Amino acid sequence: MQKESKSKRNKKEEKVSFNQSVWNTCKKIPKGKVSTYKEIAKALNTKAYRAVGNALNRNPHWPIVPCHRVINSDGKLGGFASGPKRKIKLLKSEGINIKDDKIIDFNKVLFKFDRLI
């Protein structure tokens, strides 16, 4: 069995730590609100919006971590591991209005975080 190098372990730990930070931040989005990949990144003091999306795509804690509440900055739904129909159904069940895969009254339901770091 080959030993894992120290630098590989550190990179894995950093990635897990970043992902965990994303999931912890996402848990703060209240029911009936949505936030964006960009807002989560800003709260974590980074511009790694795509990395936020990747972390949410690997979310093992759903529904405790409500990743379906995270959308694109333009109000479009963005991705969801269980598919767009499921994301729409979940958001509508929480009182979010959607038309043509876009949030209606986006600014009224947008949740912004205080900076966490």
- pLDDT (tens digit per residue) in 29-63: 999 999 999 999 999 999 999 999 999 999 999 89
pTM: 0.84
Query: Would you call 26 a catalytic residue per the annotation?
Result: no
26, 51, 67, 109: which one is catalytic?
A: 67
Asked whether residue 2 is assigned to any structural domain, the reply reads no
Residue 13 burial class via C-beta count within 10 angstroms: exposed 0-12, middle 13-18, buried 19 and up? exposed
d(CA 26, CA 22) in angstroms, rounded, equals: 6
Selected residue with higher pLDDT from 1 and 57: 57
pLDDT at 12 (0 to 100): 58
Asked whether residue 68 is assigned to any structural domain, the reply reads yes
CATH number for the domain spanning 23: value is: 1.10.10.10
- Domain range for 78: 7-109
Torsional class of 3: left (φ above 0), alpha (ψ -120 to 50), beta (otherwise): beta
pLDDT at 112 (0 to 100): 95
- pLDDT (tens digit per residue) in 7-31: 665 665 565 699 999 999 999 999 9
Asked whether residue 52 is assigned to any structural domain, the reply reads yes
pLDDT at 114 (0 to 100): 80
- pLDDT (tens digit per residue) in 63-102: 999 999 999 999 999 989 899 999 999 999 999 999 999 9
**CB neighbour list of residue 115: distance below 8 Å, 6 or more residues apart:** 42, 43, 45
Domain count, the chain: 1
